Structure 1
Amino acid sequence: MRLFAIADLHIGHKLNRECLYQLTQHPDDGLIICGDVGEKLDHLRTVFELTTQLFKQVWWVPGNHELYTLPTEKLGPRGEQKYRECVSLANEFGVLTPEDEYVRWDGDGGPCIVAPIFTLYDYSFRPDDVKREDALNWAAQTDIVATDEMLLHPDPYPSRDAWCDALVDGTIPRLEKAATLGLPLIIVNHWPLRQDLVKLVKIPRFSLWCGTKRTEDWHTRFNAKVVVSGHLHIRRTDHIDGVRFEEVSLGYPRQWEDARNRGKNINDLLREILPGPAYKGNEPTRWRPLG
């Protein structure tokens, strides 16, 4: 009984949506869907309906794209309401979310506690000499602005920063409680927990929209065995303080084109979280463009 993960399916793209149907049966395994399935509830419905038929248990955490209110849906749900509607849909399919109790994993690599969380970001992944009020201008100097600024509304909070603070404040006691159970945690979040994992060579100032410094020590503070994330569209494995960090994005079609050209499909790009690879100690970053 293995635990797999994938993020950033972006099934609004036709090719990604088609590749989804190549997923094979895993009747004894679990699957973590680590955010950015798509922008519409119908995207989530498609993925939940399929994956819950293929896997024994499915987990989902939101990414920024699930929280979008598209221009064609100006009167649609915004901010927290959009998130709550996504959670309600997940509940219909028995998909576990950050709103559910964390559950114990007794399959291969266990026992562990699987802890899906939702933190958003607060623009703090920036140089120390850049003030918060200057952050967006700092990014704009290199023509970087996230679509979130137009489509991800923080309602009912006054800002995304404030929503992030509320989410982090609410998550800490839950992780503290889970950590007292004496089992290691599998922490699952769409956004990376640490700024040093955000290495975007072509668009470095996009880091503003990639997390919060408030989570930097959570891997040790809450006894994590593995931390799973997406968002960056750069598949990689890191070990920090003896904890394995897995970036498990599929990404936009152009970003996994090389894998397709080499005969890979979505099954090859599922990342095995548990039991996972053996840790040999002092391992450098492993870049995984092909799986």
Structure 2
Amino acid sequence: MQLLALSDLHVADRTNRDAIAAIPPHRDDWLILAGDIGETEEHLAWTFETLGAKFARLLWVPGNHELWTTPRAADLRGDAKYRRLVDVCRAYGVSSPEDPYPVWEGKGADGTDTGPCVIAPLFVLYDYSFRPDHVTRDGAVPWAKEHDLVCADEFLLDPHPYPTRDAWCAARCAATEERLAAVDPALPTVLVNHFPLRQEHAWLPSIPRFSIWCGTRRTHDWHQRFRAKVVVSGHLHVRTTRWLDGVRFEEVSLGYSRQWSQSRGAESYLRTIL
């Protein structure tokens, strides 16, 4: 029995879609889907239907792509779009950040217990604070534009009813901290968020100034405050394993079809968390 994770499936890409469909059954395993499944409700539903038949349980957190307001769903934006995706999760029996945190009671291959451990799917956005100290908030996007970088979120991720993405992020952080603080202090956690929780982990060597769209400094100590065994994230399309303060940080992206080896198949990119 394993707790596995994968993010950034981007199933609008036909190659990715076929590769996800080809993942063989893992009847006893749980799968974390750490955001950026696709851009539409249909992408989410297809993925849940396809993978829900292969895994014992699915858990999902939203990425920025799921939250985009596209021409096909122009009536749904911001928090309303997110709440609709939570409804899709519930229709397929998938755990979301709005549901009670499940407790992992799994056993390793050698029969040893790897639980109990609280699996906490989180929805924490970004607030442009992953920037150098000398760059102001108002100067953050112009700073990225100096390197010809503008995230599509600036046009497609509507924060309604919040006035800014920063304000939405602050509200999500406050609500999430309250929920995490209420977890049994005797239990360790696995924290799952699409965006990295630490600024130094939001490192993209070819486009370093993209970091402003990658997280918030508000979460920098959550791995310690909330007793994390593992922190799972995606978004970067740069698969890594890092250790900090005795905690394992896993970036679990698949990415666009040009960013992974089709000869290996998507199953080989499933990351074992517990």
- In the alignment of these two chains, the number of paired residues is 268
Could you say which residue in structure 1 is the equivalent of 2:169?
A: 164
Q: Which amino acid aligns with 2:40?
A: K
Show the 5 A alignment for 1:191-230. Answer: 191-230=195-234
Paired position in structure 2 for 1:271: 271
Distance, in Å, in 2 between the alignment partners of 1:114 and 1:254 is 31
Residue 64 of structure 1 aligns with which residue? 64
Q: Which residue of 2 aligns with 1:96?
A: 95
Q: Distance in 1 between matches of 2:73 and 2:203?
A: 34
Q: Partner residue of 1:285?
A: none
TM superposition shift of 1:110: 1.5
Answering whether residue 134 of structure 2 is matched by residue 135 of structure 1, we say: no
| Aligned residue in 2 for 1:144 | 149
Deviations 1:18-55 (A, max 9, x none): 11111111111100000000000000000001111111
Deviation at 1:181, TM superposition (A): 3.6
1:124-153, Cα deviation, whole Å (9 max, x unpaired)? 000000000111110101100000000000
Distance 2:84 2:60 in 1: 13
- Which position in structure 2 is the counterpart of 1:27? 27
| Structure 1 outlier segments of 4+, above 2 Å | 71-74
User: Paired residue for 2:6?
Assistant: 6
Which of 177, 180, 186 is the aligned partner of 1:175? Answer: 180
- CA root-mean-square deviation: 0.8
Which residue of structure 2 lines up, in the alignment, with residue 241 of structure 1? Answer: 245
Consecutive unaligned residues of structure 1, counting only runs of 5 or more, are: 275-291
**What TM-score, normalized to structure 2?**
0.96
Gaps of 5+ in 2: 108-113
Distance in 1 (CA, whole Å) between partners of 2:39 and 2:57 is: 23
The CA deviation at 1:90 is 0.4
Residue by residue over 1:98-137, the C-alpha shift from the partner in whole angstroms, topping out at 9 and shown as x without a partner, is: 0001111000321100000000100000000000011111
- One-letter identity of the residue aligned with 1:102: Y
Structure 2 Cα separation of the partners of residues 195 and 181 of structure 1: 26
Amino acid aligned to 2:206: K
Q: 2:257 aligns with which of 253, 256, 263?
A: 253
TM-score, with length taken from structure 1: 0.91
- SS of 2:126's equivalent in the other structure is coil
